[in-house]
Amino acid sequence: MQEVLEALDDPARSVVVNLLGSKLEDRPGFLRELLFGLQELRARSGRPHRVVIDEAHHLLPADPGPAEPPATPRPEDVILVAPHADSIDPETLKPIGLVLALGDDPDATIRSYCDAAGADPPETRPVRLEQEQVLGWWRDGERPVVFRYAPGTVERRRHIRKYAEGDLGEPGQSQARIREAVQHRYTTPA
């Protein structure tokens, strides 16, 4: 973890922390320590400006089990990415200011967030998003708004759930899967 904080001392650097090599149950504790370190760094330097937590349901779970409760990040510092809001710690969800929803039923996603966070849901109606659209709801706003986003310039293939859970398969299979993922990433046209 010290390596991450030292790397962020250089304002020209961005850092990605990949926890796939650690046990699923160890990840919330690691995040807790990292967030405390990042808060200290931010108090000294104003950086990092943003922290993106992908697969947030693994790091800030609604039911942490016997582990300590998850660290609750400050919403102005963090972007959480997860498939379902109800799988994230409700205390983490409560102060969130903006909810973005994609998929076939984005208004249901916003209602699901409200249920999980204990928030009053906005007035919604069924929305069908077109390609490159997202439904956004600012919690201090009345209604969700559909807006267009700029698409990425590189094709990405999302992980298979087993990877996020640390299951790389039988010995020997993991190397083949890693080679396939690397080959796909570096041979996909930009």
pLDDT of 190 higher than 50: no
Q: What is the C-alpha to C-alpha distance for residues 138 and 84, in angstroms, rounded to an integer?
A: 18
Model confidence pLDDT, tens digit, residues 72-106: 666 567 889 998 999 998 988 998 889 999 999 99
Phi, psi (rounded to 5 degrees) for 133: -120, 155
The mean pLDDT of 165-188, rounded to a whole number, is 51
Q: What is the pTM of this model?
A: 0.73
Two structure tokens written together for 77: 């510092």
Q: What is the largest CA-CA distance in the chain?
A: 53
Residue pair 38/9 in contact (Cβ under 8 Å)? The answer is no
- Most confident option among 50-59, 72-81, 147-156: 50-59
Two structure tokens written together for 51: 């922290």
**CA neighbor of 120 nearest in space, from 102, 104, 143:** 143
**What DSSP state is assigned to residue 100?**
E
Alpha-helix residue ranges (DSSP H) falling in the chain: 2-8, 27-45, 56-59, 90-93, 106-117, 161-164, 173-187
The mean pLDDT of 16-44, rounded to a whole number, is 87
Two structure tokens written together for 73: 């990040």
Model confidence pLDDT, tens digit, residues 104-137: 999 999 999 999 999 999 988 889 999 999 999 9
Phi, psi (rounded to 5 degrees) for 79: -115, 120
Model confidence pLDDT, tens digit, residues 157-176: 655 555 555 555 555 555 55
Of residues 71 and 131, which shows the higher confidence score?
Answer: 131
